[in-house]
Amino acid sequence: MIPSHLNMSKHFSAIILAVVAISISAGCRPVGEAVGDTTRTIVTGHEGGAYAPKNTTKFALENEAKFVTMDNRVQRSVTCSGLQERVLEDGRLEVAANIRNRQERRIQVQVQCVFKDAQGFSTGDETPWQDLILTETAQETVRFQSFNDKAKGYTVRVREAR
């Protein structure tokens, strides 16, 4: 007859081996990083490093379009019937946008312009949001000027009034 403490030791060893085998077969690899005198575990979620980003172009309209609406209610209510841009004598960019109300009711929206460099990145030159009230089927021209000569492109944005 085997003493109970030896029998228990066999079961414990079998459990440890089973857990190790499952971990190895599942591809789990604990990664430890020493920070001072403590250790924390970093979980990457998969073996082999980083993943490429998903949906990098799915919501990228603002990277390509010169006029965007920021929500679906404004998308149904407002359109841009024309954009005009010109470079001022001091090199700054001026943009004029004809914003039209598509509804048979008076609406209030907010408009803003984000100026961008030649590669499409913001120059840090964003105009403040300004209120625009459009009567039934009316069209208004809104003008924006960049603060510096770095602006080579832009995006006019429209959202619901807040």
Residue with tokens 């079961």: 11
What's the pLDDT score for residue 80? 94
Same domain, 34 and 100: no
Same domain, 23 and 90: no
- Per the structure, the complete domain to which residue 28 belongs is given by 4-42
Tokens of 104: 């048979």
| Beta bridge pairs of residue 41 | 32
Q: Taking the model in full, what pTM does it have?
A: 0.64
Query: What CATH code is carried by the domain that includes residue 145?
Result: 2.60.40.3230
pLDDT (tens digit, 9 = 90+) per residue, 96-119? 999 999 999 999 999 999 999 999
Same domain, 77 and 149: yes
- Count how many domains the chain has: 2
Same domain, 126 and 66: yes
Tokens of 34: 């020493």
What's the pLDDT score for residue 154? 95
CB 116, CB 150: distance < 8 Å: no
Query: What is the C-alpha separation between 47 and 45, in angstroms, rounded?
Result: 7
